[in-house]
């Protein structure tokens, strides 16, 4: 049996974004599907200038397909972590999930991540000026790095981006689930059940999606959370691979102390907003939140 490190290297050597692959030996096939995201209701004129990233709206996503079937009644959605720039570490996860469960595994990128982000955001040559600026501005903060400087600057400039990114992804997942469950997706039969394997911030997003349960599309989905699942205030995103301390402090301050307290017209207060709002601090709407998780405890 090939070891994990070897298989990781093999997958990353052969994987090409947007290029279908059909390996020999009964290993899962990788197929790509195009997705068109639409501006969500929250994208006011004031916010569109920092959301105008063309890569974020038209992209493709890979699906790992177990050998032997053309149409499926079950699927797994794999959601990644914060500030990811590639699918690299998730490729062996998706492959093994497809092999062990016999289900297709959908790798769907969160808004402004992976192939939904400009290449400049992960190019050290393009980021050197911004990196030096943040090192000067936050002298002594050793969490500032090439890997996190693009996200850190965007969050520091406008912490609303965190919610807007999640909000757009939630809209996208609702569209994807509706396409799959209605039988309009070429891989899946009508009524297909979709379970979720969620890592890090993907776990938080999944909890919000299950709680909001738009159009009852998530009513029978099971959720597996890996390195995630906490209330927002209990998260710690300070990392040289995620965001620096200044950005994280700004993020926490905004959502714990100000988000949802703005004028009523600031946000569209629907089921997605309410679900996110419940997940920020433990004491806020605690009874409703705990009742929800108790009710679906057998699905998590």
Q: What is the pTM of this model?
A: 0.94
Q: Which pLDDT belongs to residue 45?
A: 47
- Residue 217 CB-density burial (10 A; 0-12 exposed, 13-18 middle, 19+ buried): buried
What fold does the segment set 4-122+163-232+273-293 form as a domain? Rossmann fold (3.40.50)
pLDDT digits (tens, 9 = 90+) for 103-160: 999 999 999 999 999 999 999 999 999 999 999 999 999 999 999 999 999 999 999 9
Cβ count within 10 A of residue 39: 15
Question: Could you give the CA distance from residue 87 to residue 206 in angstroms, rounded to a whole number?
Answer: 19
pLDDT digits (tens, 9 = 90+) for 240-253: 999 999 999 999 99
**Which of 123, 144, 167 shows the shortest CA–CA distance to 241?**
144
pLDDT digits (tens, 9 = 90+) for 106-121: 999 999 999 999 999 9
Query: How many helices (H) and strands (E) are present in the chain, helices listed first?
Result: 10, 6
User: In the structure encoding, which two tokens stand for residue 63, read together?
Assistant: 């699906």
Give DSSP secondary structure letters for 46-88.
Answer: HHHHHH--GGGTEEEEEEEE-TT-SSEEEEEEEE--TT---SG
Pairing verdict, β 188-199 and 29-36? unpaired
Q: Domain spans of the chain?
A: 4-122+163-232+273-293
pLDDT digits (tens, 9 = 90+) for 166-202: 999 999 999 999 999 999 999 999 999 999 999 999 9
């Amino acid at each position: 049996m090939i070891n994990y490190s070897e298989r990781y290297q093999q997958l990353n050597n052969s994987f090409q974004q947007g290029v279908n692959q059909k390996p020999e030996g009964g290993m899962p096939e990788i197929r790509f599907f195009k997705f068109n995201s639409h501006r969500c209701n929250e994208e006011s004129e004031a916010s569109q200038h920092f959301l105008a990233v063309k890569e974020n709206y038209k992209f493709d996503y890979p699906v790992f397909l177990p050998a032997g079937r053309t149409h499926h009644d079950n699927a797994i959605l794999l959601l990644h972590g914060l500030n990811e720039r590639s699918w690299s570490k998730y490729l062996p996860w998706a492959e093994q999930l497809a092999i062990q469960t016999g289900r297709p595994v959908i790798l769907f990128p969160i808004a402004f991540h992976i192939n939904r982000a400009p290449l400049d955001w992960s190019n050290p040559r393009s980021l050197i000026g911004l990196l030096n600026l943040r090192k000067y501005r936050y002298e002594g903060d050793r969490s500032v790095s090439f890997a996190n400087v693009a996200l850190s600057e965007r969050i520091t400039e406008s912490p609303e981006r965190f919610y807007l990114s999640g909000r757009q992804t939630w809209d996208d997942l609702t569209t994807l689930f509706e396409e799959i469950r209605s039988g309009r997706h070429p891989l899946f039969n009508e009524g297909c059940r979709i379970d979720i394997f969620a890592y890090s911030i993907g776990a938080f997003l999944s909890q919000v999606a299950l709680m909001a349960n738009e159009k009852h599309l998530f009513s029978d989905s099971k959720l597996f959370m890996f390195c995630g699942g906490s209330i927002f205030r209990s998260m710690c995103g300070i990392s040289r691979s995620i965001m620096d301390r200044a950005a994280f402090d700004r993020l926490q301050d905004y959502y714990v102390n100000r988000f949802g307290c703005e004028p009523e017209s600031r946000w569209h207060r629907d089921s997605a907003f309410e679900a996110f709002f419940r997940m920020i601090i433990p004491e806020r709407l605690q009874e409703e939140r705990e009742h929800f998780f108790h009710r679906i405890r057998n699905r998590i």
